[in-house]
Amino acid sequence: STSDRRSLLSLVPVVPVVVLDDLDHAVPVARALVTGGLPVIELTLRTPVALEAIAAIAADVPEILVGAGTVTSPALVGRAVEAGAQFLVSPGTTPTLLREMAGSGVPFLPGTATVCEAMAVLEAGVTEMKFFPAEASGGAAYLRSLASPLPAARFCPTGGITAATAPSYLALTNVGCVGGSWLTPSDALAARDWERVTALAAEAALIRSSTGL
Ligand code: 3PG
């Protein structure tokens, strides 16, 4: 339910998705997001430092919920949780990956992009999922079309979403939050411009209320 405290979809309007190249950026980025009002961070397992970054944030920034994204294989589930990941996000879903995530003990968002994939996840008893790649897969219009046939499914659309397009997703009844990397642009990280990250987070933290929801 939407009031479930473990629901990943009800914590913040925008989940910051972060691709980190430099381990030294992990803690300052996490702190900048917290300061901006977004106490959630998804570290993508796309760079060599990602698991260490999760561990550093879990140790040094206890006020943020830190998770692992880009979980593309069952083997990464245990490694992410061991590193300190408090939630898991995958771009797509296979039966073995879904089983592994369901047994991980932490909340997770399996990736889906089609009606069939969402139905397979629902069949496994999982109602919260990622919709990826959101813009390329049909965007808000596609998700709106799923609300009536699949009323139990709730989504975190991610992929190509911006501050400008996030409100159209957040207005949908079957969307709890969106995900995006626009809060942590690579040039801001390279310049260690944490104030810019805080400003982008603060803007994103207000998106839901600006739609009146
Ligand atoms: C993801 O892993 O969810 C996406 O890479 C984030 O998408 P974006 O970079 O287009 O925001």
Residue 42 designated active-site = yes
**How far does Cα 82 stand from its chain's mean position?**
19
DSSP 154-185: EEEEBSS--TTTHHHHHTSTTB--EEESTTS-
**Dist. CA 136 → ligand 1 center (Å):** 11
| ipTM summary value | 0.90
Q: Is residue 204 part of a domain?
A: yes
pTM reported for the whole predicted model: 0.95
204 vs 35: CA distance, rounded Å: 12
Backbone angles phi, psi at 128, to 5 degrees: -105, 130
Q: Is residue 24 part of a domain?
A: yes
Regarding the beta carbon of 37 and ligand 1, being less than 6 Å apart is answered no
44 lines ligand 1 (CB under 6 A): yes
Of 15, 41, 43, 28, give the one whose Cα is nearest residue 193. Answer: 28
Contact between 74 and 96 (Cβ < 8 Å): yes
* Domain containing residue 141: CATH number: 3.20.20.70
Residue 1 belongs to a domain:
no
Confidence of residue 213 (pLDDT cuts 50, 70, 90): very low
Domain of residue 77, residue span: 8-210
- % of the chain surpassing 90 pLDDT: 94
Annotation says 130 is catalytic: yes
- Flag whether 3 is in a domain: no
pLDDT of residue 208: 76
Residue nearest to atom 5 of ligand 1 (CA): 159
Tell me, yes or no, whether 2 lies in a domain. Answer: no
Q: Name the domain count of the chain.
A: 1
pLDDT at 45: 98
68, part of any domain: yes
Residue 13 inside a domain? The answer is yes
Q: What angle is formed at CA 26 by the lines to CA 40 and CA 79, rounded to 5 degrees?
A: 75
Categorize the per-residue pLDDT at 191 as very low, low, confident or very high, splitting at 50, 70 and 90: very high
The mean pLDDT of 100-113, rounded to a whole number, is 98
Write out pLDDT tens, residues 123-172: 999 999 999 999 999 999 999 999 999 999 999 999 999 999 999 999 99
* 27 assigned to some structural domain: yes
Dist. CA 17 → ligand 1 center (Å): 6
Tokens 């950026």 label which residue? 25
Cα(177)–Cα(157) distance, integer angstroms: 7
pLDDT band at 210 (very low <50, low <70, confident <90, very high): low
pLDDT in tens, 70-91: 999 999 999 999 999 999 999 9
What are the pLDDT digits (tens) for 115-125?
999 999 999 99
